[in-house]
Structure 1
Amino acid sequence: MIQLTLDTQVSDIVTALPQSADLFRNLRIDYCCGGKIALKEAAEQRELNPEEVLKKIHAIEAKRETRNSLEPSSFGSKTLVAHIQEKYHANLCEELPMLAPYITKVARVHGENHPHLLRVQEIFKTLRAELIEHTEDEDKNVFPLLLEFLENPTSELKERVKPHVFELEEEHDNAGRLLHELREITDNFTPPETACGTYRLVYARLEQLEKETFEHVHLENNVLFDRVRELI
């Protein structure tokens, strides 16, 4: 990743760190059509302190790096569950509502000439609802039960755990199918050459969503659930 400084162009910052678009949007700094200027100049145009804006960008960058720096497969089960919740569940709760307005805007502005974007919007709406419901169920109901079973694998708990693991894996498969369709209809998340900054941002963040969802599912299916299956 490039080093982000006051001289880095706003558009390049968003390309390197897509989540920074949310900050620029809140600060009303144009990262799209007017993004080909240095961060310092862009901040000064909005009468903002450039150093303070850069500090916020570095905080976003540090948060992402922290989430990506851990090796979770060797964690104990409680730590693994906490890691899944902190890195993936919390991130979904942040990212999905933030991404939704960009997808709506791109579908509205470009959907007539690029009709696949209307399907992108439909898939995202379905995926968002399913992932939020899925993670809330895991946090409130399933994960506490799985941890209880892993600590004390009684026959009673085994019967309660079995259907949950099967159901969650089915939901994971469905999310995978939706993400696969997104990748297909967006030509591997490759925007057209004439795409505006928001259009490119949507594709970049959808690709990041796919990457993190696959990592998330891998840890659950192939690490956490495997531990459960060994005791069933």
Structure 2
Amino acid sequence: MAVVNEKMWVSDIVKEIPKSADIFREKRIDYCCGGRISLAEAVDARGLDLEEVLKEISGIDQHEGSGIDMRYLDEAAIITFIQNRYHRELLNELSALTPYITKVARKHGPNEPHLVRLETLYKTLKNEMVAHTSEEDRNVFPLINRFMQNPTSALVETVKPHVSALESEHEVVGDILKEMRDITDDFTPRGSACGTYQLVYARLEKLEKDTFDHIHLENNVLFERVRSVI
């Protein structure tokens, strides 16, 4: 059983207790791109009560629905998991959700301008993630596999800029998702919202969760292993 304290990095807490990501997401604590800070620092930045947050995390059943423990997979298996669990589902959802986003923006945007901004953000997110996942699948992930099997000095110089570029792209995506949450009042539709409006908000919230979990797995598990060898 993992014991959490205020000095642990937020990203490390999520690695130890994956379900803690739900608590951090609810409290708007970044556990992926900005997760390499202590819990105490993260809580203080949000103006939260440290003891209360620690109590919530300690109350998590660490055996219930914990899923696959990535610490016991090698890099190739982690990459396969990322591609099957996140890349494929992400691309399918981005395509399927597009017409609903457009419909809501056109129908309700004239009276609710934030929905027009939401559509713009969504299109940017979609373009970023389509290009990003394609680059990972075609070039970077095969390169990481080769590097981890044979970490030569030549491959070090090839891998480093790729990992840095991907992490920078993750920050861009994280900022888009944070703005989406801000302008939608935490993905809370107004009381009289139609079914499509409600569906869009619910699916965007799930998209946010999956994307943050996806980024956390890459930044704080896969890329961290790469950095440990460089």
User: Do the two structures share a fold, i.e. TM-score over 0.5?
Assistant: yes
- How many residues are treated as equivalent by the alignment? 166
Amino acid across the alignment from 1:81: I
Displacement of 1:72 after TM fit?
3.0
- Tell me the residue number matched to 1:112: 110
- Tell me the residue number matched to 1:230: 228
Structure 1 residues 143 and 107: alpha-carbon distance in aligned structure 2, compared to 1, 3 A threshold: same
Amino acid across the alignment from 1:222: N
- Equivalent residue of 2:229, what SS? coil
Do the aligned residues in 2 keep the contact of 1:84 with 1:216 (CA within 8 Å)?
yes
- Aligned runs of 1:4-43 on 2, under 5 Å? none
Amino acid across the alignment from 2:77: T
Q: Which runs of 5+ in 2 are unaligned?
A: 1-65
Runs of 4+ in 1 over 4 A off after TM superposition: none
- Aligned runs of 1:3-152 on 2, under 5 Å? 69-152=67-150
Displacement of 1:133 after TM fit?
0.2
- Tell me the residue number matched to 2:197: 199
Displacement of 1:70 after TM fit?
3.2
Q: For each residue in 1:64-114, what CA deviation from the matched residue of structure 2 results, as whole angstroms up to 9, or x when unmatched?
A: xxxx94333431111100000000000111100000000000001111111
TM-score normalised to structure 2 length: 0.70
CA distance in 2, matches of 1:211, 1:72: 18
RCO higher in 1 or 2 (8 Å CA, sep ≥ 6)? Answer: 2
Kindly name which structure, 1 or 2, has the bigger radius of gyration based on alpha carbons.
1
Amino acid across the alignment from 1:122: T
Identity %: 56
- Tell me the residue number matched to 1:209: 207
- Tell me the residue number matched to 2:167: 169
- Tell me the residue number matched to 2:52: none
CA distance in 2, matches of 1:208, 1:79: 24
- Tell me the residue number matched to 1:157: 155
CA distance in 1, matches of 2:129, 2:169: 9
Amino acid across the alignment from 1:199: Y
Amino acid across the alignment from 2:162: H
Displacement of 1:132 after TM fit?
0.5
Do the aligned residues in 2 keep the contact of 1:81 with 1:143 (CA within 8 Å)?
yes
CA distance in 2, matches of 1:74, 1:218: 17
